[in-house]
């Protein structure tokens, strides 16, 4: 079974609506939706926001279901000039930018694990890159010209890059500069991915992540984020997963 966790309720609902033979179980204030999605047995769940909430959800999933892989999807803020609204990031390395156990450990190192980042599965990275490319080939038939214009989406691309997670909403240049200076391979930021990657690493479950750029992590991030998440993210995720799972 494949676990698919979404960071946004709206995005998850789009996937739930396409489930075949759905059933639902509720645990720990979370609704786990089981069924078939594009021919694969899946369990879908809203991660809730923040590293603790997402790690809790991931642990429940792993303990309750026989998982063959774990997929995380959601929106993120760009921290590089080369990544724009509507672009897709397939994560290769996941960092927790807000962890600091110095002088006992190196900056950003996860205590007891001897790791400063968690890598995703290389084969699945390639498959998701291909799935994202196929989606972008059909972009104009899925996202209307009006929607693209409203959100400033122009010539979207799919890239592979580092993702940084922390328990804060990044929306200032000082926060961006801190991440640039210390984690130069990071291209976008969010609040859950690296925590889920750590759980999957400790349990030995293959992990992959898709992030869709909703904002530029600047002073206008909160405005772009809410609108984008409600109107665009679900369509992206559904089509990318259709290509990936099929």
| Average pLDDT for 109-137 | 96
Say what percent of the chain tops pLDDT 70. Answer: 96
- pTM exceeding 0.85: yes
The whole-chain average pLDDT of the chain stands at 93
- Positions annotated as catalytic residues are 11, 215
Residues contacting 108, CB < 8 A, separation 6+: 95, 96, 97, 99, 100, 116, 117, 182, 183
Question: What CATH code is carried by the domain that includes residue 135?
Answer: 3.40.50.1580
For residue 171, the enclosing domain spans 2-245
Query: How many domains does the chain divide into?
Result: 1
Check residue 216 and report its DSSP letter. -
Report the pLDDT value the prediction gives residue 215, as an integer from 0 to 100: 79
| Average pLDDT for 98-106 | 92
72 C-beta neighbours (distance < 10 Å), count: 28
| Average pLDDT for 167-178 | 84
Distance CA 158, CA 137 (A): 11
Vertex 235 angle, CA 185 and 133, to 5°: 50
Confidence of residue 219 (pLDDT cuts 50, 70, 90): low
| Average pLDDT for 55-84 | 95
Report the pLDDT value the prediction gives residue 220, as an integer from 0 to 100: 56
Report the pLDDT value the prediction gives residue 89, as an integer from 0 to 100: 98
- Distance from the Cα of residue 21 to its chain's centroid: 26
Report the pLDDT value the prediction gives residue 200, as an integer from 0 to 100: 98
Residue 185, pLDDT > 90, answer yes
Report the pLDDT value the prediction gives residue 172, as an integer from 0 to 100: 78
């Amino acid at each position: 079974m494949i676990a698919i966790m979404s960071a946004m309720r709206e995005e998850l609902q789009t996937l739930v609506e396409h489930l075949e033979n759905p059933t639902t179980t509720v645990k720990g204030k979370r609704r786990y939706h089981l069924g078939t999605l594009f021919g694969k047995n899946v369990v879908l769940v809203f991660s809730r926001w923040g590293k603790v909430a997402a790690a809790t959800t991931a642990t429940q999933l792993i303990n309750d279901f026989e998982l063959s892989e774990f997929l995380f999807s959601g929106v993120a803020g760009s921290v590089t000039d080369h990544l724009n609204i509507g672009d897709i990031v397939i994560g290769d390395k996941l960092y927790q930018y807000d962890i600091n156990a110095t002088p006992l450990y190196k900056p950003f190192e996860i205590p007891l694990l001897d790791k400063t980042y968690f890598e995703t599965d290389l084969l699945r990275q390639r498959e998701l890159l291909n799935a994202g490319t196929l989606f972008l080939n059909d972009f104009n038939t899925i996202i209307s010209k009006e929607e693209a214009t409203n959100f400033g989406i122009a010539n979207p691309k799919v890239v592979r890059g580092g993702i940084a997670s922390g328990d804060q909403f990044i929306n200032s240049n000082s926060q961006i500069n801190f991440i640039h200076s210390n984690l130069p391979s990071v291209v976008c930021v969010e609040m859950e991915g690296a925590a889920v990657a750590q759980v999957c690493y400790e349990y030995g479950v293959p992990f992959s992540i898709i992030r869709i750029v909703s904002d530029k992590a600047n002073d206008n991030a909160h405005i772009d984020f809410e609108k984008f998440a409600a109107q665009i993210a679900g369509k992206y995720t559904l089509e990318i997963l259709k290509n990936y799972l099929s």
